[in-house]
Amino acid sequence: MSDIGESIARLADLARLKSDLEMRRFAAYRAHVEAARARITTLTEELQALYDSEAAHSLSGARLANALAGDRSRALGRAEVELEQMMPGYQAARGAALREFGRVQALEDLHARETDARRLKVQRKQSDGA
């Protein structure tokens, strides 16, 4: 293999390692974002169930439903703020993972082209010498 081919292959290996790290980082962010979204969905459903409840037709039921609704509303607000705060890091991790994955693809393509060019050059030398 030529020096250029070896260098490109080593760069591709390094890029693959970095890409794997960035993909793991993105996967961790994604898991946190999905958990926050699930929490928001659950709290929204619980809040809707409280509003739809028949228990609010009595005074004690209304007080309990109101207290629970207030608690769920505050928890929902906190969960939405938490998700909003996660999104910039999530987007940055996603962008880094995409960029590193693209770098690996480009280096592998470059290595394949260089290998094909070298093989073609050897074939031409052999056909010219024959």
Q: Which tens digits make up the pLDDT trace of 69-91?
A: 999 999 999 999 999 999 999 99
| Domain span including residue 51 | 3-124
37 part of a folded domain: yes
Q: Say which CATH number the domain at 108 has.
A: 1.10.287.1700
Q: What is the pLDDT of residue 55?
A: 62
Average pLDDT over every residue of 100-106: 92
* Measured distance CA(43)–CA(70) in Å, rounded: 11
Contact 100, 18 (CB under 8 A): yes
Closest CA to 51 of 75, 73, 81, 77: 73
**What is the count of structural domains for the chain?**
1
* Measured distance CA(30)–CA(97) in Å, rounded: 12
Q: What is the pLDDT of residue 127?
A: 84
130 part of a folded domain: no
* Residue 56: pLDDT band with limits 50, 70, 90: low
